[in-house]
Amino acid sequence: MTDDFTWEQDKLYFLPLGGCGVFGANLTLYGYNGKWLMVDCGMGFPDDTMPSIDLLVPDISFLKAQKDRIVGCVLTHAHEDHIGGLEYLWPDLKCPLYATPFAAKMITDKFSEYPWKDQVRLHTVPMGGEIKNLAPFHVSMINVAHSIPEAQSLVITAGNLPPVLHTGDWKMDLTPCVGEVTDEAAFAALGQSEDGVLAIIGDSTNAMLDGHSRSEEIVYKNLVKLFAEYPDSRIFVTCFASNVARIHSVARAAAENGRHAGLSGRSLWRSYEVSKSCGYMQDVPPFLEDREVMALPREKSVLVLTGSQGESRASVAKVARGEHPCIKPEKGDVLFFSALRIPGNEATIDRALTRFWEMDVEIVSNKTVPDTPVHVSGHPYRDELTQLYSWVKPKIAVPVHGEAMQMDHHAELARDCGVPHVMAGQTGSIYTLCPENGVRVIDEVQCGLLAVEGERMVPVDHESLNVRRRITFNGAVVVSLLMDGHGSLKVPPQISALGIVDETSGEGQDILAKAAEAVAKAVENLPKELRLCRDDGAAHEVSEKARIAARKFFHNYCGKRPQTRVHLFV
């Protein structure tokens, strides 16, 4: 583990600080002659083992200490796992940012509520453009299709070394509905360049899926067809708010079925407004507000809802709980689930969909209509990866952006494609990328995920979060003891048992009184010289005795081992 490390002249370093091994939190560094180029700054997503945590960001302790060395941060596209960490981490880095118009507007929108927003130097780069003021690096962009407009692969060069292709998130789609197709000629030209390509740092998301990803246009056509199968229903659709092509497809499919489309949820409106200002979504009627759609006849309406991942504050969850102010589904309505289930969110999503089902709302998803998919992936399948390697022919492949299994399958595929040096990415490892020696790990830096909670960011294994997790499962007990200075309790112990008894009920009060008796007895059984609490050691023993007695009492009572704390006053 290193805080600083010794730079070797003209060596190219690669250091992922997130995005390898877990989904999300993409943040990658390239180092050359004492300077860092940063690519993406994403957020991570908590899973079921992290109750009460809303979002995660990569630990950038190492980078903070090196912030004067950062020449800039290039954002490949506007997905949250690539730009969602910026608003939390940028104030510690203050580096210039580079993004295409769509991503730049999304970032500006995110930053608009922060007092430091005027300090940000955010440069808008045209799609497929070049970024020249990142010396010693040079970056040029290649248009790629993805599930958001304006995704870019980066061609990164430093010194006289051959270029590195940082794919970002991509797929091949000749009919992406919104945005550009993947610039296949640019990839092919890279592979034919005189010095060749040093390395591909590549998306592994779908490296376990055979064949070719499906086109966005298929979803559009399927929606047109499937909407027609519900002539009397109100149609709800949930998808990722950033999936502009999908929102656009829903609008077109609605229009073709004689329906008006509306949006419910802030992130969908933000995405729509940004899209319009960038020239997208011009050929569909303006979206309606949710209450306007609900006022229409059912057979004339389509409403897109935020919260495809079951997020508790988004529209799907609110409707599912019956708490949405205007959206109340009726028997016979239908909900199209037009999204991926991000690993870790499955149970939450299923809970929300089950509630819709209980309201007699039919659910349509890729599971129910496998032959007419209502969602397609924005990441390359194995045939697309193989095609990329055959064009680019890199000396090195470093699979990133995936869990271990996906990265390992990507690595195997790269070897099968004849790439001489292959090594899966690992968050926190510093690699050298070298035309002669291939790829090597030379050092490791502090890394991990931090939970963002208000003003603070804490490691996900922080003791406060461990205790919170234990409290979730076992409850918490607080015991207050007041000693009278002569070795006796001045009043009976005061006890709270949070998450264990209902303290407002008579029954709960009885249990607490019995617990107090048990604790008092345990304390009174101690030798008097301890009960006098003349020193810290004695006070500690009294507290500990009380703690164990309380814990034992509640374990006998409900089978739980609550987090137990004692406050002792002498």
**Rule CB under 5 A: which residues touch Zn ion?**
79, 81, 169
Single-letter code of the amino acid located at 476: A
Radius of gyration of the chain (CA): 28
CB of 507 to Zn ion, least distance (A): 52
For residue 200, give the nearest of 474, 413, 53 by alpha carbon.
Answer: 413
- Strand, coil or helix: what is 275? helix
User: Judged by CB, which is closer to Zn ion: 76, or 564?
Assistant: 76
Shortest approach of Zn ion to residue 310 CB, angstroms?
A: 20
Residue 278 · residue 101 · CB < 8 Å: yes
Would you say 79 or 545 has its CB closer to Zn ion? Answer: 79
Residue whose CB is less far from Zn ion, 169 or 311 = 169
Question: How many residues in total does the chain contain?
Answer: 570
Instruction: Report in angstroms how near the CB of residue 369 gets to Zn ion at its nearest.
Output: 25
Which residue's CB is nearer to Zn ion, number 79 or number 421?
79
**Residues 430/405, Cβ–Cβ less than 8 Å:** no
Measured from the CB of residue 19, what is the shortest distance to Zn ion in angstroms? 8
Query: Which are the contacts of 147, defined by CB distance < 8 A and separation ≥ 6?
Result: 79, 169, 216, 240, 242, 243, 245, 246, 377, 378
Q: Cβ closer to Zn ion: 170 or 553?
A: 170
Shortest distance, position 224 Cβ to Zn ion, whole Å: 26
In three-state secondary structure terms, 198 is: strand
Residue among 402 and 475 whose Cβ is closer to Zn ion: 402
Q: How far is the CB of 393 from Zn ion (least distance, A)?
A: 25
Can you tell me the distance from the alpha carbon of 407 to that of 430, in angstroms, rounded to the nearest whole number?
17
The first and second tokens of residue 511, run together, are: 């249990």
Q: Are 356 and 363 in contact (CB under 8 A)?
A: yes
**Residue 43 or 156: which CB sits closer to Zn ion?**
43
Strands 152-158 and 334-337: unpaired
**Least distance to Zn ion, CB of residue 523, Å:** 57
* Strand spans (E) along 215-359: 235-238, 260-264, 288-289, 301-305, 334-337
Whole-number minimum distance, CB 60 to Zn ion, in Å?
A: 18
- Shortest separation between residue 166's beta carbon and Zn ion, angstroms: 12
Of 338 and 564, nearer to Zn ion (C-beta) is 338
Is residue 299 within 8 A of residue 330, CB to CB? The reply is no
- Which of helix, strand or coil describes residue 570? coil
Complex with Zn ion: residue 72 or 378, whichever CB lies closer: 378
**Tokens standing for 315?**
């529209």
Residues 6+ apart with CB under 8 A from 324: 264, 315, 318
Do residues 265 and 314 lie in contact, with contact meaning Cβ atoms separated by under 8 Å? yes
Which H, E and C letters describe 5-35, residue by residue? Answer: CCCCCCCEEEEEEECEECCECCEEEEEECCE
Nearer to Zn ion, 124 or 377 (CB): 377
Tokens linked to 290: 């949710």
The residue among 244, 267, 262, 256 whose CA lies nearest residue 302 is: 262
CB of 354 to Zn ion, least distance (A): 29
